Every structure is written in C-alpha cells, then in structure tokens.
Amino acid sequence: MEYLVHRPGVKAGAPSSPPALETGGSHPELAGVWDMNAGVENLPEILDTLNAAQSRVRFAEVLAAVPPGLVSQAKSVRQWSRTIGKGLGAATGAPPAENVWAHDFLPQAQLVAQDLGLDFVVGLTGSMVAFVEHGAKHWNYFTWSDGRSVSVISCYQVREFAREAGRTFEAAVGHLIVAEILAQRNPDIVYHPEDRGCLFDFTGVRQNLVLGLRKMIVEPACLRTLAEPWRPVGNAWMKALREYEGETGG
C-alpha cells in the first residue's frame, strides 16, 4: 500500500503530470483516501484490492492531521437540528446521532489534494454527513461530493450493515468509495430513488444499504450510464469487492 503523508505547509513531490481529463488520460488518476475518524482497520487491504482490479485509478492512503473542527462541527449540527425542531433521524428513521458538515471538510480536502497532487480526495468519517444543496439542508447521508474531486463518506452504522449483508466492513467502505469515484467522473450517473441492490441506490432509508452490499453490482442499466472506458472499471471493482470476501459473485 502506498501512503501519502500530508504535512501542513509542505508540498509533497507532486506528480508533474497534469490531472487527467474526464474521459482521457493514459496515466492513472491518483485518489487519496483519508480515514479521519472512521477506524477502518483494513483500509490498505481493500485499497490494494481495488488497485489490483484495474489501472485507471490508483488509490493511496492519506495520513494527515484530522481537522480539529470535526467533532465540534458534529455537535453544532446536532444543535442546529434541535433549533429547527426536527431531531436528526426524523427523516430516515436512524437514531439521533452526529453529523459532520461536508462543507467544512471541503477546504481541508482541497488543501490536502493540492499539497499531495491528488486527483481525488475521499474522506472517511465515523459520523453521518450533512450538507446544503440548492438551499435545502440534508443530513444523515452516507456520502457527499463536490462533483469534481472531493467526497466525504460516512461509515456510521456501516459496520453493522456490512455484517447483516455478510460482507466485511472494509469491503462495504470500498463499495461506497468506488460509487463516489465513478459518480465524480460520470456526470450522467443518477443515484436512483428505488433501492434495488445496485451501487447507485440512493439509500434514502439507510438500512437499505444492506441490499446494495449483498449484491455488490452495478446493474446493467446503470452501467450503461457510465462513459464507455469506465464500464470495465466499474465491473472490475465490483467483482473484486465481491471476491474479497471469498465469493465468486455474479
């Protein structure tokens, strides 16, 4: 496993090549996965697995100081939810719990990306994810992205959902990671509101992540919305994730 260590104010020996274009680029794009407080013990193993499956994206683990505001932000989101009179979880049935603001993560992630020469930054948090989109507030989400290069992924409850689906925790985290990478580079992708056991289920009901983790596939209709070069990548990732747990999958 490749580790990239971020030291504030120190630029790493960033690759001299420019970031790949969305549909081109013969060199792999570099995706840094930054476990801020999710505690994914076997993260290097699952990133190695995803790397071995294809050559379009190269994953490395980012080691960086955790943004000091993460926990206090979570408290502030909880406070905000009380202020507006809706307990967190009211919309989804999840228990009241902490969320982090994706928007506070974004500038931190952009700094790390710039310093380390990353094409993607994927932050892993043990909290759920809250954000504002089109003026509306959302919370209790598994993921958020800026639509370009930065994603934050919630590992909250994911360990339980993985167990229920018969998967390992790190495979489930890998599942969430590859969905974000594919969505960032394929603007036609839609997280569909029906949860059918597809990588691109919206999972408005958090428990429904179990369906996706059981099957671990990109269903054919969704695969066709990927740009052609990404289709074998998507399939290879899903196959690798299924087989990571000793299953042949299908």
Give the binding site for Zn ion (CB under 5 A).
Answer: 198, 200, 219, 222
- The distance of closest approach from Cβ of residue 47 to Zn ion in the complex, given in angstroms and rounded to an integer, is 24
Q: Is 4 helix (H, G, I), strand (E, B) or coil?
A: strand
Which ranges of 60-168 would DSSP assign to H, the alpha helix?
Answer: 70-83, 102-116, 158-165
Q: Measured between alpha carbons, how far is 230 from 29 in angstroms, rounded to an integer?
A: 13
What CA–CA distances, in Å, run from 128 to 92, 146, 167, 191, 218?
A: 12, 17, 20, 18, 24
**Residue 74 or 183 having the CB closest to Zn ion:** 183
Burial of 78-90, coded b for 16+ CB within 10 Å and e otherwise, reads bebbeeeeeebbe
Q: Which residue is nearest to Zn ion (CB)?
A: 198
Q: Which lies closer to Zn ion via its Cβ, residue 138 or residue 196?
A: 196
CB of 194 to Zn ion, least distance (A): 8
Question: CB of residue 189 vs Zn ion: minimum separation in angstroms?
Answer: 9
Helices 169-185 and 43-52: crossing angle, nearest 10°? 50
User: Could you tell me the two tokens for 1?
Assistant: 């496993």
Q: Shortest approach of Zn ion to residue 188 CB, angstroms?
A: 12
Q: Which residues contact 177 (CB under 8 A, 6 or more apart)?
A: 33, 50, 59, 122, 151, 153
Output the CA torsion sign for 90, 96, 101, 102. negative
Q: Which is nearer to Zn ion, 132 or 190 (CB)?
A: 190
Nearest-approach distance from CB 7 to Zn ion, in angstroms = 40
Shortest distance (Å) from residue 142 CB to Zn ion = 15
